[in-house]
Structure 1
């Protein structure tokens, strides 16, 4: 199942990429929401191969996802692959500089089931795909608005 959306932000492409590659802020946000985040690689530089183990409660059970930075091409794109027992998730963010101060951010997410139970769960998502697409687009829009506020120095994280 694929989700895709585009947002234009009034922020230079390099700065958008810097915000997207601030992995520490994503780790802190996940911890604030109740997740346990652990870096499992030994890479010192930010780039492909960075890997995190994320544990979080969902539907009454602790779930674990292994996330790996697969592509890191500043300032054009970054891709993250995530694996759980039931799913493979590929997240791709592409940036296109529309002007020196305006950037188009394209976010694509693809979820593939790896088990029969995951396939059944995705089938139920397909029934209400329009609702999931709206939520996905709303989250990307909110993130884009937060980027613009951070760019202006309003300290949103």
Structure 2
């Protein structure tokens, strides 16, 4: 089943269960997907839906950290609950060793030797790790190996 269909099914299940918190998050996800589809006039495939979910997860994580730093635990708890729902639809996170293997293979495939080749390496890695690893951390690891 496509990821978008899974989200719609989960939304219907949340409606039946009268789970308002989960329903709200699922509606927010589907609205964001629909916004991208309307803006770009395309039907999103699983890879693009994953990219939308990944972006939403990053936004929630940043908001959570900011709310916690500001002492707004009520808002931080809301963000954390949204993060948990979003995470259910993302693939399992990569382990450190799996990520290192992917970086090694991307470096070998592109023949990267310096920081000038960073874009080529990230272009190869991004589709493989999207939604499974934080792209900021992946970028830092690639920089460390190229630098």
Larger radius of gyration: 2
Task: Give the structure with the higher percent helix.
Answer: 2
Task: Give the structure with the higher percent strand.
Answer: 1
The TM-score with structure 1 as length reference comes to 0.24
Highest relative contact order (Cα 8 Å, sep 6+), 1 or 2? 1
The TM-score with structure 2 as length reference comes to 0.26
